[in-house]
Amino acid sequence: MGNLIGGSSRQNNKLSKKPRGRWTRHDTLNEDPETSRETTGWSSSKNQRTEESNNKAALHLKLKEDFNKLRPLFPTPDYHPLHLAIVTGYPHIIPDLLKRGAKINDKDMAGRTALHLASEVLYLEAMTLLLGCGASVNLTIPATRETALHLAVRSSSCKAGTLLAAGGKCVELLLLNGANIHMRDWKGQEAIHTACRNGREEIIKLLFNYGADVNSLTPEEESPLFLFLEKTGNLRKLNVLRELLRLTYPLKLMNSEGHLPKALYNPSCELLHDLLRDMAAEVWSLQDICKFNVRNVYRGAMICWLKERIPTQLWNSIYIRQEYSYASKMK
């Protein structure tokens, strides 16, 4: 009897101890308020994490489904997460993808970064996010040596870009974020060459205001003006032609192979052909050359800076009075 009582006493002592581990459930069943609250909070947190995980899985699936529909439009089979976010129209998830391990400058099989892709299609929202997250603005595509600026200028200056007046903000965004305006592609062309070949005035002026050199030559010795005159359709853009002539010196009409721009071989352009040939044969005075070089170096906001530092009469002779240029010969 004593053994029974003693055994029962020891068992009661064990049950009366503070619950640990396996006894948590026993306390919960007894409706311990504190333990119940902890368990409820843990369940709520778990449900929230499960819901977040399901949402992300659903978003990833949606991305893949959308991308598979668009895949035929893209030549390369592999896209990194940032590329997927752009081609499927979800640029807002870029910061989250970066937090989860995506690399801002990852390249696809064609060697394009996400910034290349966004710049080529003039996707301003995606470009803004990528640059804000640290995308390298001057990386080149290995096969073509094109930068994001080359791609944005080409898309902005093409026929569709001109008709839609699209791309100016994209180009300026790249320039504001340190795009090197003098980098050359596989043809040895800078962005200004591409802009001039397509003849979109706004893009040409924008590049010039950020320091583009209208007198730079390709390896074939073709200037931006030469490439502008390669397309006969550009001759209808007289304002652009005058602006390029105003900014050009010396006037070089032939490339390294001795060819003139294609438009000047057109019989309907005989008068322009003769006028430009006469201009190219002119010899400028040293004073006119100096004035031209000053205007070429000090442009945009620098004009006002220079005005405060040199005599007014000298400044007026450079920028206002009888400004000499090839454009002054055109009527």
Task: Clarify whether residues 236 and 290 are in a common domain.
Answer: no
Looking at the fold, whether 109 and 176 belong to one and the same domain comes out as yes
Kindly state whether residue 29 falls inside one of the protein's structural domains.
Answer: no
The answer to whether position 129 is within a domain reads: yes
In a domain, 74, yes or no: yes
Compute and round to an integer the Cα radius of gyration of the chain: 34
Find the CATH number of the domain harbouring 182.
Answer: 1.25.40.20
What angle, 0 to 180 degrees and rounded to 10, lies between the N-to-C axes of helices 312-319 and 286-297? 90
Whole-angstrom Cα distance, residue 149 to residue 170? Answer: 9
Higher pLDDT among residues 301 and 206, named by residue: 206
* 299 is a domain residue: yes
> Which pLDDT belongs to residue 185?
97
Residue pLDDT, tens place only, 226-264: 999 999 999 999 999 998 998 899 999 999 999 999 999
88 and 226 housed in the same domain: yes
Mark whether 93 and 228 lie in a shared domain. Answer: yes
Both 181 and 311 in one domain: the answer is no
- Is residue 38 included in any domain, yes or no? no
Is 1 inside a domain boundary? no
Q: Give the predicted TM-score (pTM) of the model.
A: 0.74
Angle at 96 between CA 92 and CA 99, to 5 degrees: 150
- Indicate if the pLDDT at residue 218 is higher than 50: yes
For 132, the domain range is: 49-283
* Mean of pLDDT values over 7-21: 45
Same domain, 268 and 315: no
Distance CA 88, CA 63 (A): 6
What is the C-alpha separation between 154 and 281, in angstroms, rounded?
Answer: 33
Mean pLDDT of 189-206: 94
Q: Are residues 180 and 152 in the same domain?
A: yes
CB neighbourhood size of 208 (10 A):
21
**Total domains in the fold of the chain:** 2
Residue 165 within any structural domain of the chain: yes
Residues 312 and 218 in one domain: no
CB atoms within 10 A of CB 129: 23
246 plus 231 within the same structural domain: yes
Q: Are residues 274 and 314 in the same domain?
A: no
Residue 16 placed within a domain? no
Q: Which residues of 1-33 are buried (b: 16+ CB within 10 A; e: fewer)?
A: eeeeeeeeeeeeeeeeeeeeeeeeeeeeeeeee
pLDDT tens across 143-162, in order? 999 999 999 999 998 887 87
Tens of pLDDT, residues 25-57: 444 434 444 444 444 555 566 676 666 666 656
